[in-house]
Structure 1
Amino acid sequence: MTQETVAATSDAVLDREETMSRDELEALQLSRLQHTVAYAYDRVPLYKRKFDDAGIHPTDLRELADLGKFPFTTKEDLRLEYPFGMFAVPQHEVARIHASSGTTGRATVVGYTKKDLADWAKLVARSLRASGVRPGMKVHNAYGYGLFTGGLGAHAGAEALGCTVIPISGGQTERQITLIQDFKPDAILATPTYLLTIADAMVKQGIDPASTSLKYAVLGAEPWTEEMRHELEVTMNIKACDIYGLSEVMGPGVAGEAVETQDGSHIWEDHFRPEIVDAFDPSKVLGDGEHGELVFTSLTKEALPIIRYRTKDLTRLLPGTARPAHRRMGRITGRSDDMIILRGVNLFPSQIEEIALRIPELSPHFQLELTRPAGQRMDQLTVKIERRESVTVEGAASAAKVLQQQIKIHVGSSCAVDIVEPGSLERSNGKLRRIYDMRPKA
């Protein structure tokens, strides 16, 4: 840990809940959980139906382990209850509405009371503070504003922390660079792939990304690897930490990573109860340290209480470190709906990123194309990846063979590798699309 990092963390004033013992925290969880399941049962018709169909009643929750007896909530439940069927309060008590893009089906809609918004801002502020951001700092917010929870959620949290917020939103990369140079922010909030886009654009303008005023980056909204963290920290001379959330559970700030340890995001368990279930048999609740699908139950939400929401994010729960009572999430290895099954092998984009960024000749910019050549029954995966500017075509061809071999060794499936020119692949303006499924539709 550098002296600067020590200085950034030693003056942090923590919330009382961050310093509780594990026993105190679990007693608080049980009390809030018992209230939440009863509240949801009484106020949300979907939960009354689900609980009754499962033969379970809120009074059956006597200890934390009893939560595993209750039915799951899925994204499809929220879509079926579109737009406001999941709300537990009358319309006049809903202070704000957010929604997903709906690009893969009917949008999921979430609502917040004034108390929900205050709790959300507090937890984002807690996450930012854990990641090194301090009151009085200037924060460049490059998350998208609008129905997406990222922009407004991060904005409110930074203000609650006492920061000066620069609400640039996503896109307009050249303007982002101008404002970073002119306004001299201390921290930036963005997706990791968009921060990479900003760094690349700086280089093209003749600006050294490591020469800016930025010291901290708080990055989320998509899975990223330790290799991507190293790439960004070295390129931009910053400390980069993760922030986790999803709109159905709250938005950003469900969990945040501590800058002094950078060992995974601590889940704020005074507001959320996490579980890990077997991704293929969700009836099995797994123990800490076991890898599976992350499930969340809210403990304090008023407008949209959520019971055992299946996130589809694949990770594991680990003991707390910087915040000992609050468990950490391991790195998100992927989403179950992003998983590619290639010739019987499960593969995630983050695995390709992890392998590619260990090969110096290759850049972090890649796409995965799935095809099924005419007359063939087997799918073909092609990794399209840019070589770095300083690497020759011949050097990149050798790196392509290494990437092919490493994917075969570490993932267990063969693929093609197509090295493309620097700057030729689509850049992120927010969340980046990695997978292009070009197989014929059935």
Structure 2
Amino acid sequence: MILNRAMECMDRESMRKLQSERLIETVKRCYEKVPFYRRKMDKMGIKPEDIRSIDDIHRLPFTTKHDLRDEYPFGLQAVPQSEVVRIHASSGTTGKPVVGTYTKNDLAMWAEGAARVMAASGVTKGDIVQVSYGYGLFTGGLGAHDAAGLLGAVQLPTSAGNSEKQIMLMKDFGSTVLCCTPSYALHLAEVIEKSETVKKEDLKLKVGFFGAEPWTEGMRKELQERLGIKAIDIYGLTEMCGPGVGGECEYQNGTHLWEDLFYPEIINPDTLEPCEPGEFGELVFTSLCKEAMPILRYRTRDLTRLIYDKCECGRTAVRMDRILGRSDDMMIIRGVNVFPSQIETCLTEFPAFTAQYFITVDRKNNEDTFDLDVELRSEYFSPNPSKQMPYIKPLYDRIVSMVGIKPNIHIKEPGAIQRSIGKAKHVNDKRKFQ
């Protein structure tokens, strides 16, 4: 189902006209209401009247996560506090959190964006949407919650954690839709498989909307097989709104971005110049409708490309290819660029391994070390190292082939690697503290 056909299927010329109108208004609001942007634009010699169309967007300043933290908490806010109706924030585990504030209209826009994604995969009034994202300052829980409400579906706000109870409610209440991180969905699948009271066949789940962390096609296949659902990628970020900046349609051939609300660009992360159409680079967003906290040219650090061909579903909304990784997640080990997602891709190619892994990078005797903890499934596991080798060797060879460096692989008992109810943590780079 297409929720907003006028916007999701708009022809390219009309879309660019709409984007131009909204960008001009956004730039004017930022310059007049946000001292941070006025200072930046003045320093660059730019006035709002210099921005006449979406083609002028490259003249505007970039915004980074550091900027948002430096302006913590409300330095980028463009409305008086009396117009703010909700505040969200990132975890802030590496410093001050990134804050997002919302007016009533902002929340309505956000709910529609997320609802477009759910509607694209057939969610309707008759569905029961189990929201297993965390509720609170994290945008996931309430973002999915409001989207389900807009569609008239039943909202089941279980939040994250207490997995056994999650499964019980999933069965007893007849949940048809699951919303959570992909790593937590995988953990729920493990709980179901170990349960003596609930089996996959007892559930009515048909689709899952998974986001908030990178995941691979291999994990999608595993989730679909183990939960008996269609696994859909929903994309978002606190700096724009939360889940609902875009998402996959039923054809799963790229993530549609709602470019009437958030204008996407791809830039070279080194030169900051625009990339050629179809070229991979860093994704940049400009909010086109936000009232409380409009953002100009936000550098997401996500590495991907944009596809402008019309989709099989009929939507003309631009599609984002699979995210290769984040420029700030990339590790350089022995001179080689390594993304955690590459390790996950390798693991999911071998049925004997779970998708759980943990990377430890260190430096000893002036040389980088790369240790990889992985799990064998219970039916393959043996504590005898000699019996582990037939599984380690093919994985080792595949990682060397794909990534280009040699890992020290350590087999752990099933369930030994810590699961996460939120965003999964896969890397400990000890070199940062040396």
Aligned residue in 2 for 1:215: 206
8 Å contact from structure 1 (residues 112, 303) kept in 2: yes
Deviation (angstroms), 1:62 = 2.3
Matches within 5 A, 1:278-289: 278-282=268-272, 284-289=273-278
- SS, match of residue 171 in structure 2: helix
Equivalent residue, structure 2, for 1:243 = 234
Alignment of 1:156-305 (within 5 A): 156-206=146-196, 207-259=198-250, 261-282=251-272, 284-305=273-294
Match in the other structure for 2:402: 410
Structure 2 gap ranges (5+): none
Structure 1 residue 397, shift from structure 2 partner? 2.3
CA contact (8 A) 1:242 1:264 kept: no
Q: Distance in 1 between matches of 2:229 and 2:387?
A: 30
Amino acid of the residue matched to residue 59 of structure 2? K
Q: What pairs with 1:80-95 in structure 2 (closer than 5 Å)?
A: 80-95=70-85
Cα RMSD between the aligned structures?
A: 1.4
Counterpart mapping for 1:355-370 below 5 A: 355-370=346-361
Structure 2 match to 1:4: none
Q: Distance in 2 between matches of 1:90 and 1:135?
A: 36
Query: Do residues 59 (structure 1) and 49 (structure 2) align?
Result: yes
Paired positions, count:
428
Q: Check the 8 A contact 2:23/2:53 in 1, yes or no.
A: no
CA distance in 1, matches of 2:392, 2:201: 29
In structure 2, give the amino acid aligned to 1:47: Y
- With structure 2 as the length reference, what TM-score do the two structures score? 0.96
- How far 1:105 moved relative to its partner? 0.6
TM-score, normalised to structure 1, is 0.94
Find the partner of 1:143 among 133, 137, 151.
133
Q: Name 1:421's counterpart in structure 2.
A: 413
1:69-88 aligned at under 5 Å gives the runs 69-88=59-78
Cα displacement string for residues 275-331 of structure 1 (whole angstroms, at most 9, x for unaligned residues): 01112222x111231111110000000000000000111111112413542111111
Q: Deviations over 1:237-287 (max 9, x none)?
A: 11010000000111110001102x1112100011010001112222x1112
Q: Distance in 1 between matches of 2:377 and 2:149?
A: 38
The equivalent of 1:115 in structure 2 is: 105
Q: Tell me if structure 2 keeps the 8 A contact 1:266–1:323.
A: no
Question: Which sections of structure 1, spanning at least 5 residues, go unmatched?
Answer: 1-8
Letter in 1 for 2:240: V
Task: Tell me if the contact between 2:361 and 2:369 (Cα under 8 Å) persists in the aligned partners.
Answer: yes
Q: Deviations over 1:88-133 (max 9, x none)?
A: 0001001111111111011111100011011111111111111332
Q: Deviations over 1:196-252 (max 9, x none)?
A: 000001111134335411000011000001110000001111101000000011111
Which consecutive segments of 4 or more residues in structure 1 shift more than 6 A? none
CA contact (8 A) 1:132 1:258 kept: no
Identity of aligned residues (%): 47
Say which SS state the counterpart of residue 405 (structure 1) adopts: helix
* Aligned-partner SS, 2:367: coil
Residue 157 and residue 336 in structure 1: after superposition, are their counterparts in 2 closer, same or farther (change >3 A)?
same
Q: Tell me, in whole angstroms, the C-alpha distance in 1 between the residues paired with 2:52 and 2:302.
A: 28
Spell out, residue by residue over 1:119-166, the C-alpha distance to the aligned partner (whole angstroms, 9 max, x if none): 111111111111332222100000110011111111011101111010
| 1:27 partnered with 2:37 | no
Question: Once the two structures are superposed, what CA deviation does each residue of 1:362-412 show, in whole Å capped at 9, x if it has no partner?
Answer: 110111111223xx1111111111001221435642221111111111111
Whether 1:333 and 2:348 are equivalent positions in the alignment is no
Alignment of 1:378-417 (within 5 A): 378-393=367-382, 396-417=388-409
